Amino acid sequence: MLYLQPCQRLAVFGFIQFLPNLRILSNWIGDSFSPLAFRSNVSIAALRFNERVIMPGSANLNTMIKAARIAGRSLVKDFREVENLQVSRKGAGDFVSKADTAAEGIIREILSEARPTYGWLGEETGGSDGEDPTRRWIVDPLDGTTNFLHGLPHWAISIALEHKGKVVSGVIFDAAKDELFFAEKGTGAWMNGPSMKDERLRVSARARVSDSLYATGIPFAASVDDLPSTMQQLKRLMPICAGVRRFGSAALDLAYVAAGRYDGYWERGLKSWDIAAGVIIAREAGAIVEALEEHGDEPHALGSVICSNDSQFNEFKKIIRM
């Protein structure tokens, strides 16, 4: 048996304790030479230094988490100076800021560097085919832009990986609250929050609609054609439930169903990037997730969604689809 003097044991213990920091330092040095670091107002190196090292799943999922956290640091910096952001209008009630485009640039560079053959669909840069026709990144760099621009700390980054039309991995990062939701098909849904511990996500167990809290989106501006049907749905549901919330981020609505904070969620008039990541996170947490249209395709393909736990899904969808 190897015998160590007390001072030697102390030195070995100190080195073991320092090992995680060596990994962070190594990643930070590597990222400091990224070309994006010289083009962005916030260097990837500076953002990466504060990133937590969590390696919960596959190489693809780890890359998605890395991209979300680095872009999240950039968004948090812009959020603190939101009144100085350059903002343009894509349509009525539809805004894009310099923060959106910078975050999407960060995410795209990281994902493309790791998987250059994959296709791409981003809210701000549109779609492009990859050499691999079966795989595609689906990205919303800032879901909840209106909240962001009004100083409301309820917005998120959404990154999904689609394989043959099905979402197989999803990451949603609420950088303002430092909550990271993630899932891979068949491995469950998880959250990494301020406690730095990975927590398994489970949908709520509430079986009665009367005890349940729901989320939805209220149509506005360009989507106002859906307003009459939404009002009818609210008219049927609100008198018999515990409440309905409209917080302005479809990605976080789905993540909150996965975490059991909401008991159900429905909305139409969405884009693929709004809900692709949230769909798999909610499903892996035990939710039933479908498109609002009966017998429809995948929710992210149709732009509508309804979900809740298994105990009340049939009753909930009957009320909403009536």
Domain of 255, CATH number, reads 3.40.190.80
Of 63 and 37, the structure prediction assigns the larger pLDDT to 63
Number of separate domains in the chain: 2
Evaluate if residue 296 carries a pLDDT over 50: yes
* Final residue before a domain boundary, out of 153, 179, 200: 200
Within a domain: 70: yes
Q: What 3-state DSSP class applies to 305?
A: strand
pLDDT in tens, 46-84: 344 344 444 457 999 999 999 999 999 999 999 988 887
| pLDDT number for residue 119 | 98
| pLDDT number for residue 21 | 44
- In percent, how much of the chain has pLDDT > 70? 79
Evaluate if residue 30 carries a pLDDT over 70: no
Within a domain: 178: yes
pLDDT in tens, 93-116: 556 678 888 999 999 999 999 999
Torsion of CA 228, 273, 185, 109, to 10 degrees: -170
Range name among 94-98, 113-117, 133-137, 291-295 with the lowest pLDDT average: 94-98
* Final residue before a domain boundary, out of 178, 200, 222: 200
Within a domain: 268: yes
Residue 165, sorted as left (phi over 0), alpha (psi -120 to 50) or beta, turns out to be left
Same domain for 159 and 249, yes or no, is no
pLDDT band at 13 (very low <50, low <70, confident <90, very high): very low
Residue 63, sorted as left (phi over 0), alpha (psi -120 to 50) or beta, turns out to be alpha
pLDDT in tens, 311-320: 999 999 999 9
174-184: average pLDDT: 97
Same domain for 312 and 184, yes or no, is no
* Final residue before a domain boundary, out of 140, 166, 200: 200
Evaluate if residue 270 carries a pLDDT over 70: yes
Tell me the C-alpha distance between 322 and 318, whole Å: 6
Same domain for 188 and 63, yes or no, is yes
Evaluate if residue 31 carries a pLDDT over 90: no
| pLDDT number for residue 12 | 42
Same domain for 191 and 235, yes or no, is no
Residue matched to tokens 């429809």: 296
Neighbour tally for 13: CB within 10 Å: 10
Same domain for 63 and 185, yes or no, is yes
Give the predicted TM-score (pTM) of the model.
0.81
Evaluate if residue 283 carries a pLDDT over 90: yes
Same domain for 180 and 225, yes or no, is no
Within a domain: 105: yes
Evaluate if residue 279 carries a pLDDT over 80: yes
Within a domain: 9: no
Q: Edge-to-edge strands of the sheet including 156-163?
A: 126-128, 119-122, 135-143, 156-163, 166-174, 179-184, 189-192, 198-200
pLDDT band at 16 (very low <50, low <70, confident <90, very high): very low
Within a domain: 120: yes
Same domain for 170 and 242, yes or no, is no
Q: Which residue segment(s) compose the domain that 107 sits in? A: 56-200
Same domain for 158 and 100, yes or no, is yes
- In percent, how much of the chain has pLDDT > 90? 65
Same domain for 182 and 217, yes or no, is no
Which of 28-37, 45-54, 223-232 ranks highest by mean pLDDT?
Answer: 223-232
CATH code: domain of residue 188: 3.30.540.10
| pLDDT number for residue 90 | 62
Q: What burial class does residue 319 get, using C-beta atoms within 10 Å of its C-beta: 0-12 exposed, 13-18 middle, 19+ buried?
A: middle
Q: Where are the beta strands (DSSP E) in 93-212?
A: 94-97, 119-122, 126-128, 135-143, 156-163, 166-174, 179-184, 189-192, 198-200
Within a domain: 68: yes
Q: What 3-state DSSP class applies to 294?
A: coil
The letter for the amino acid at 196 is M
Same domain for 68 and 193, yes or no, is yes
Within a domain: 23: no
Q: Which residue stretches of the chain are H helix?
A: 6-31, 44-49, 59-80, 98-114, 145-149, 227-237, 250-258, 272-284, 299-302, 313-321
Same domain for 220 and 184, yes or no, is no
Same domain for 231 and 125, yes or no, is no
